[in-house]
Structure 1
Amino acid sequence: MLPTCSVPRSLQRLALLAGLCLALPACAEHYDDHPGATAFIDELVADDGFERDSLEALFARAERQESILEAIARPAEKTKPWHEYRAIFLTDRRIDEGIAFLAEHRETLAAAEADSGVPAAVIAAVLGVETYYGRITGRYAVLDALSTLAFDYPPRSPFFRRELRHFLILAREQGLDPSSLKGSYAGAMGYGQFMPSSYRSYAVDFDGDGLADIWNNPADAIGSVANYLARHGWRPGEPVAAPASLAAPVPDDWFDAGLKPERTVAELRAGGLVPARELPADAPALALALRGEAGPEYWLGLPNFYVITRYNHSALYAMAVYQLSERLAAVADA
């Protein structure tokens, strides 16, 4: 009989942990010893007055999320045609909940419209598209999302490093625990899904309680969305978009010219893209061709359409907000 060996309990525990890691798809990867995070911590300590020990403890809890990297590689705006994208946001339920939101927050929305010039229905529609009027604000830890994208998503690492810095400063300014806050896979937060830099730049204390809180306060969320659109150039009283038809072949590159309206209504009309409603001839306009269920849909996007794309740089997003706002306004005005 061979002699038996006594294995220390500490080694037994290590072996057990190793076995668990092998049995699971992957063990959690943290950012306490990631070179990018280490350099980032150095910057925050030197430039923003953070305590090194606190940051190291924080990033030791931040987890790399593979699902975030998968999600950002296939956003709906880039993978779905318009008719499928529209079906997500122009539902009876989203319209009904929007009508209820308009009724519940009528006074706040009216005040925001009076203050900013942005229609109440447009403010509500942004919140409806973003988070179902604050009901679905994201399930990811913002710290995990921004760390994953800042340090493990090279195509946009500089952008997300900046957003991570703003997030940590924001949490410090508001006395919040950064490891407890939830948001989208891209790190967007609250009712209006503001990125941290937008939160710090555009969120407002609309109810005057001393704190700009778009996490839990619908009044601040309403005022903040209105402020964002107003400061990006909203033109009160002007339309957002207009359907159009082709009276003659239009160059394809008219529909691939970016989101900013560079031509005028008169130029587009003369070239064969005719709006279905009367518009000022000198109004800046953008030619849009969207993939509808029955074929192409042609539209003119006007300056306020462009403003909505500053919230999310997608023509599909802006069109969903616009059409939802039109549905909400029609019911509210009835």
Structure 2
Amino acid sequence: MFVLFFYLFFSSFSHSLVIADKIAEKFDLPRNYVKENLSKAEIVDKVTDLISKPAETKEWGDYKKIFVNEQRISLGKDFYRKYREELERAENEFYVSSEIIAAVLGVETFFGRYSPEFNALDSLYTLAMNYERRSEYFTYELGNLLLYSYKNNINPKEIRSSYAGAIGYPQFMPSNILKYAVDFDEDGLVDLVNSMSDAIGSVANFLKQHGWHYSDPTAVTVAFGRERLTGEWMSISKLKEKGVSFPFGLSEHKIKLIRLKDGENDIYWAVFHNFEVLKRYNPSNKYALSVLLLAVALK
């Protein structure tokens, strides 16, 4: 038993050193700084349990009830009234709908009411070490967390996050903080944890940088969709030729059909470029559609 424990401990320790070397080299960080912080990181079993059971595994009807319901819509309208000036300024500067910005924050952190349970260092370290399927990705995000902490003189152990290491009101991964976060309140700091203004501007900037097309459609339900037509980008006219019926006239966009299961029913949606931009935030069709439906409810 002792030999097994020693083997597992040594194996984990060696892996940690490999990760420390990889991060220090890739992010040009002092090796001692990386090693010191990783020595403080802890493996949290709950993190790996949660990432294996994400909400996106639920059926569409159950998923939608979590994010598009009377309470969230009511709180969203209050949120929009409170931050109307910042939301509309972000729309004017980044050309992203203010309701979409608000809805992203509503889905991500319940308009700022979500309190993160974990710390980012432990979450990302756990996933880098123990979640083999995406270990490389979480090692990369762990490196970005340490880079962000080093540049801003922050103790990474004190940064709160989701179980997957997402941070602040907009739930940005560390790499996205470094790439897309903005000082929207112009106080000299980029603070996604305490400044809702910075969160609003950062969500807008993220969507803009990923190609959001202002005033373009995002998704629409269609009738007579079929499974064999899903997943391929086609023109609206071509889909009409194949029998798909649209609820109103649309200009000749490229679209893709998706199918969502709601109990016994199949629901088909035609999704546009902007839908794919929302999926850059979270690659789930259910996530992007929840953001869109919540945004529509806030108008």
TM over 0.5: yes
Asked if 1:253 corresponds to 2:253, the answer is no
TM-score w.r.t. length of structure 2: 0.92
* The structure with more radius of gyration: 1
**Unaligned 5+ runs, structure 2:** 1-7
Shift of 1:117: 1.3
Q: How many residues align?
A: 293
Contact residue 241 and residue 299 of structure 1 kept, 8 A: yes
Alpha-carbon distance in 2 for matches of 1:33, 1:90 = 42
Partner of 2:41: 62
**Paired residue for 1:38, among 7, 14, 17?**
17
Q: Which residue type is aligned with residue 13 of structure 2?
A: H
Alpha-carbon distance in 2 for matches of 1:31, 1:318 = 43
Q: Identity of counterpart residues, as a percentage?
A: 36
Partner of 1:17: none
Shift of 1:293: 4.2
Shift of 1:47: 4.8
Q: 1:57-94 CA deviation, whole Å, 9 max, x = no partner?
A: 322321111111111112111x2111000000111111
SS at match of 2:245: strand
Alpha-carbon distance in 2 for matches of 1:55, 1:197 = 17
Q: 1:299-324 CA deviation, whole Å, 9 max, x = no partner?
A: 11111111111110010000000000
Contact residue 30 and residue 62 of structure 1 kept, 8 A: no
The structure with higher relative contact order (CA 8 Å, sep 6+) is 2
TM-score w.r.t. length of structure 1: 0.83
Q: 1:232-256 CA deviation, whole Å, 9 max, x = no partner?
A: 111111121111101xx73x2332x
Asked if 1:215 corresponds to 2:185, the answer is no
Asked if 1:266 corresponds to 2:237, the answer is yes
Partner of 2:4: none
Alpha-carbon distance in 2 for matches of 1:109, 1:212 = 17
**Unaligned 5+ runs, structure 1:** 1-28, 330-334
Shift of 1:45: 3.9
Partner of 1:309: 279
Contact residue 29 and residue 147 of structure 2 kept, 8 A: no
Q: Which residue type is aligned with residue 223 of structure 2?
A: S
Alpha-carbon distance in 2 for matches of 1:81, 1:31 = 42
Shift of 1:124: 0.3
Q: 1:188-210 CA deviation, whole Å, 9 max, x = no partner?
A: 11111111111111111111111
Contact residue 27 and residue 143 of structure 2 kept, 8 A: no
Q: Which residue type is aligned with residue 257 of structure 2?
A: A
